[in-house]
Amino acid sequence: MKKAIENRLKVLLGLPLWDAGRAVSLIWFDFGKNISKDINRKGETIFLGEYTIDTESAWHIRGKKGVIVGSADRFYAAGKNPYKGFEDTDWEDKPGENRCDERLEKFIKQHKKTPLVVVSAEANDWGGLIINLSRGFAIEIFQHDTIGDEYWRMFESVDKGNKHFVVKRNGSG
């Protein structure tokens, strides 16, 4: 599995990470040129990267000083005190009110003018993934249970008839 994943991820080398976002427990990371794809329900133009990786597995973005934002941050309140009112944080239906959304948005905005670029991508034999970015940052996706069937997937945002590359518990395909 490791070799198949690393071969597929070669298309990301040299491409910028230009956006990331979250919907409920799904996170996506957009790489490459931003492409106008469609109009959403609000009438807004949706921009996507050439390639998207999305997952509902555990993930984090780390820098030289440690983890900057991670998947479990969605359960904590935004702001200086993550425990203040976190019991009432509606992480599903109110984007931006949790620590994950706040920190992810800040991270992406900090690197908008000079985007981080994919310098390498590593996989392990169990479907885990590390996307090493310029300036010492990395996105890591890892298995967090023994139940889930799909760990993550990568696809071209403009449908060219290509299948999604899906990494599952029992192999990739």
Give the model confidence (pLDDT) of 61-91 as tens digits: 999 999 999 999 988 888 887 777 766 666 5
Whether residue 52 has pLDDT greater than 90: yes
Whether residue 42 has pLDDT greater than 90: no
Residues across the chain: 173
CB neighbour class for 171 (10 Å; exposed up to 12, middle 13-18, buried from 19): exposed
Q: Which of 87-96, 113-122, 132-141, 153-162 has the lowest mean pLDDT?
A: 87-96
- What is the residue extent of each domain of the chain? 2-172
Model confidence, pTM: 0.87
Query: What are the strands of the beta sheet with 171-172, ordered from one edge?
Result: 66-70, 58-63, 138-142, 129-133, 116-123, 16-23, 26-39, 45-55, 150-156, 165-168, 171-172
pLDDT the model gives residue 87: 67
As a whole number, the mean pLDDT across the chain is 87
Give the pairing type, strands 165-168 and 116-123: unpaired
Three-class DSSP category at 66:
strand
Report d(CA 127, CA 169) in Å as an integer. 7
Torsion of CA 37, 129, 60, 68, to 10 degrees: -100
- Residue 128, both tokens: 């885990």
